[in-house]
């Protein structure tokens, strides 16, 4: 006969729910926790005592004590519990120490030129950054684990990078290499950067409370992160959401993946800069084209219109497939979207099925360029949030 959950299992679930609540929403009064977690006051008191003893929360008197009566203690996450978060992007490598509550305590950025990137040139600066940050960690701080975001197709179970066309990686064991730097006692989780940006915007950004979301990120290529029914849609092996490689123009240009006419060859930075007759690459040049268009430069305006049109075609496809409540445009796509919003919306209205598109909101990220870092921190915190009594 199957029995219900034990007292201990229920306690751990409740501890996880409380810790997740203050981790995502910040300082919260015990009274609010009682209401929002549906638990009684004495249970909340026992749970906060356990979490405080584990060094995961702090309790304090509220600053505003205007009202009469005994004030409800405020519960806040303890940033001494921390993770390392890494992002490997087209133009820079970043390492950060992030405290519980999602606060970036320390960060080190290493800018780099675009193009092929031997893995050792990623791991060495990250290892240096970790060592430098470790020197300033206060005594008593507790390391939970690490997460890394990379613009690539990543195998979920061990962080093997199957394909990262913009840095030239095929079957690169990034998870294994980072585990050697960080030590074997805590997990290192590697995920696709767009997936992590979607997760971060969903948990603490523009899409809080929005359970169906498509996040589009532009840098050297186009990445996609999809949340469906409140859960990341990663597919069987973790490779889902490669929206940049949906073929939209079979007669189009060759793509880094080996196919021709992928969406990113029509809406990526290179497509915009080519259409605007500009040499070079990068977000600054994209911004310069957007500026030129705003000042009336006809070539730049045409380029924005052309890319905006292709952007709209792809968004309409995605809206028809996923029926999202929100589509977020991040990275260099943020600037392109803002300049071409009318174009994108009009394509979506012509090509999107009315029932699929009628409630969709088109947005830019709230977390800006920190979204990938915060998403990487989020996956590193996840084992602790699932079971705060983890040894």
Nearest to 356 by CA among 327, 388, 330, 322: 322
What's the CA gap between 213 and 265, in Å, rounded? 23
Q: How far is the CB of 268 from Zn ion (least distance, A)?
A: 10
Binding site for Zn ion (CB under 5 A): 245, 255, 257, 259, 262
What's the CA gap between 228 and 214, in Å, rounded? 9
**Sheet with 222-228, edge to edge strand ranges:** 231-232, 222-228, 213-218, 326-331, 361-363
Q: How far is the CB of 324 from Zn ion (least distance, A)?
A: 22
Q: How far is the CB of 262 from Zn ion (least distance, A)?
A: 3
**Residue given tokens 């751990």 in the structure block:** 12
Q: How far is the CB of 259 from Zn ion (least distance, A)?
A: 5
| φ and ψ of 142, to 5 deg | -125, 120
Q: How far is the CB of 157 from Zn ion (least distance, A)?
A: 25
Q: Which is nearer to Zn ion, 77 or 193 (CB)?
A: 193
Q: How far is the CB of 307 from Zn ion (least distance, A)?
A: 17
- Distances in Å between the Cα of 5 and the Cα atoms of 9, 15, 230 are 6, 15, 24
What's the CA gap between 249 and 74, in Å, rounded? 56
Q: Which is nearer to Zn ion, 55 or 252 (CB)?
A: 252
Q: Exposed, middle or buried by CB within 10 Å (0-12, 13-18, 19+), for 143?
A: middle
Q: Which is nearer to Zn ion, 255 or 286 (CB)?
A: 255
- Distances in Å between the Cα of 273 and the Cα atoms of 109, 269, 292, 348 are 26, 6, 12, 24
For the four alpha carbons of 170, 171, 173 and 174, in that order, the dihedral sign comes to positive
What's the CA gap between 139 and 126, in Å, rounded? 22
Per DSSP bridges, beta strands 326-331 and 213-218 are: parallel
Q: Which is nearer to Zn ion, 259 or 270 (CB)?
A: 259
Collapse the DSSP code of 98 into the 3-class scheme (helix H, G, I; strand E, B; otherwise coil) and give the result: strand
Q: How far is the CB of 153 from Zn ion (least distance, A)?
A: 11
Q: Which is nearer to Zn ion, 25 or 274 (CB)?
A: 274
Q: Which is nearer to Zn ion, 259 or 341 (CB)?
A: 259
Q: Which is nearer to Zn ion, 255 or 380 (CB)?
A: 255
Could you tell me if 333 and 314 are in contact, meaning their C-beta atoms sit under 8 angstroms apart? no
Q: How far is the CB of 172 from Zn ion (least distance, A)?
A: 19
Q: How far is the CB of 257 from Zn ion (least distance, A)?
A: 3
What's the CA gap between 362 and 261, in Å, rounded? 25
| φ and ψ of 252, to 5 deg | -85, -160
What's the CA gap between 234 and 192, in Å, rounded? 10
Collapse the DSSP code of 96 into the 3-class scheme (helix H, G, I; strand E, B; otherwise coil) and give the result: strand
Q: Which is nearer to Zn ion, 264 or 335 (CB)?
A: 264
Q: How far is the CB of 254 from Zn ion (least distance, A)?
A: 9
Q: Which is nearer to Zn ion, 222 or 319 (CB)?
A: 222
Q: Which is nearer to Zn ion, 210 or 255 (CB)?
A: 255
Task: Report DSSP letters for 204-226, one per residue.
Answer: HSTTTT--SEEEEEESSSEEEEE
């Amino acid at each position: 006969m199957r029995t219900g959950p034990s007292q201990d299992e229920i306690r751990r679930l409740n501890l996880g729910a409380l810790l997740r609540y203050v981790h995502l929403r910040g300082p919260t009064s015990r009274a609010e926790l009682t209401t929002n977690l549906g638990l009684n006051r004495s249970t909340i008191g026992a749970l906060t005592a356990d979490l405080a003893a584990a060094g995961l929360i702090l309790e304090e008197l509220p600053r505003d004590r205007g009202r009469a009566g005994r004030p409800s203690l405020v519960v806040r996450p303890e940033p001494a519990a921390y993770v390392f978060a890494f992002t490997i992007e087209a133009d820079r490598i970043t390492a950060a120490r992030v405290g519980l509550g999602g606060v970036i305590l320390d960060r080190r950025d290493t800018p780099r030129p675009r193009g092929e990137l031997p893995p050792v040139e990623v791991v060495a600066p990250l290892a240096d950054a970790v060592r430098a940050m470790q020197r300033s960690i206060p005594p008593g701080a507790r390391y939970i684990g690490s997460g890394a975001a990379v613009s690539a197709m990543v195998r979920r179970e061990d962080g093997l990078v199957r394909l990262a066309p913009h840095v030239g990686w095929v079957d690169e064991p990034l998870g294994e290499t980072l585990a050697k730097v960080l030590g074997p006692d805590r997990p290192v989780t590697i995920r696709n950067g767009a997936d992590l940006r979607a997760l971060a915007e969903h948990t603490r950004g523009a899409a809080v409370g929005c359970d169906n979301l498509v996040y589009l990120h532009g840098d050297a290529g186009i990445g996609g992160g999809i949340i469906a029914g409140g859960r990341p849609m990663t597919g069987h092996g973790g490779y889902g959401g490669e929206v940049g490689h949906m073929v939209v123009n079979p007669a189009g240009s060759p793509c880094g993946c080996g196919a021709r006419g992928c969406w990113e060859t029509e809406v990526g930075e290179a497509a915009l800069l080519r259409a605007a007759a500009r040499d070079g690459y990068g977000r600054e040049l994209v911004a310069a084209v957007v500026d030129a268009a705003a000042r009336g430069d006809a070539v730049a305006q045409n380029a924005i219109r052309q890319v905006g049109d292709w952007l709209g075609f792809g968004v309409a496809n995605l809206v028809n497939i996923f029926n999202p409540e929100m589509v977020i445009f991040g990275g260099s796509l943020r600037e392109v979207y803002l300049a071409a919003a009318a174009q994108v919306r009009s394509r979506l209205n012509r090509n999107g099925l009315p029932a699929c598109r009628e409630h969709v909101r088109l947005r830019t990220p709230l977390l800006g360029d920190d979204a990938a870092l915060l998403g990487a921190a989020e996956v590193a915190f996840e084992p602790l949030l699932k079971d705060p009594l983890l040894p």
